[in-house]
Amino acid sequence: MREVADGVLEIPLGYVNAHLVVVDDGVVLVDTGLPGRSAKFQQALHEARRTVGDVHTILLTHWHPDHTGSAAELKRLTGARVVAHRVDAAAIAGPQPIMRGLMRVTQKLMKPPEPVVVDELVSADGPLAVPGFRAVHTPGHTPGHVSFLLDRARGVLFAGDAAAGGPRGGVRSAPSIVTDDMTAARASLARLAELEFDVAVFGHGRAIAGGAVARFRERVAKAQGNR
């Protein structure tokens, strides 16, 4: 676990990252990794000198099981509210759709995540019930993918799988083989590049701890130049 911004801790869970955010009235979790990872979160909370009772909100970027897998267990442990986009909520709260490409094979091999009720549905961009956070709908990887922007340290972007950390502090797009709509995903990446933030964290790949929006703009410019 490492602190990528003041009170923002990255929790590596194998090939996927989740994040713990210390706020004035407790703790917010962003994504929950694969099923069976709740012990990792309890360890991270201990290292952050917090307890499971401090967690009051779980923000989910999208329905894929490597991001929602431990949400139900963590909700039971903490009593936290779960927040996700209304478009992906049915897949989070019920049977998950069959995934595409390589993720379809992975889905058959992994334990399916336990469904979890979504308490707050994101239906528009803007502030959440959690002070300091706002949602940005970034469809493409999934139709209801949402990124979160935290008003701290000149802006911290939780990109989920709308983008990924690349080599040498760069930004990558999510692979087409695991993305529902690449045209929408490219538009979402471009939209993120129009925001203002200094730090970016990802579901996959290393966080960018400074000058992050410039890396997003470079990625978008390169993609547009290759068309």
Mean pLDDT, each 10-residue run in order, the chain (227 residues)? 95 96 97 95 96 97 95 97 97 78 56 90 96 97 97 97 94 88 96 98 96 97 79
**pLDDT the model gives residue 109:** 58
Which tens digits make up the pLDDT trace of 150-173?
999 999 999 999 999 998 899 999
Helix axis angle for 71-78 and 38-47, nearest 10°, is 50
**Distance of alpha carbon 131 from alpha carbon 190, whole angstroms:** 26
**pLDDT the model gives residue 211:** 97
Q: Where does residue 205 fall: left (phi above 0), alpha (psi -120 to 50 degrees), or beta otherwise? A: left
Reference 15, options 137, 164, 220; nearest CA is: 164
**Distance of alpha carbon 177 from alpha carbon 169, whole angstroms:** 23
**pLDDT the model gives residue 101:** 55
End-to-end CA distance of the chain: 38
Q: CB 105: neighbour CB atoms within 10 A?
A: 10
Q: How many domains does the chain have?
A: 1
35: domain CATH number is 3.60.15.10
Helix axis angle for 212-225 and 182-193, nearest 10°, is 140
**pLDDT the model gives residue 112:** 77
Q: CB 82: neighbour CB atoms within 10 A?
A: 23
**pLDDT the model gives residue 110:** 66
**Paired tokens of 198:** 């200094």
Host domain of residue 108 = 2-225
Of all residues in the chain, the percent with pLDDT exceeding 90 is 83
**pLDDT the model gives residue 111:** 72
**pLDDT the model gives residue 98:** 62
**Distance of alpha carbon 58 from alpha carbon 55, whole angstroms:** 8
- Contact in structure between 35 and 74 (CB atoms under 8 Å): no
Dihedral (Cα; 50, 84, 207, 154), 10-degree rounding: -80
Strands 2-5 and 8-13: antiparallel
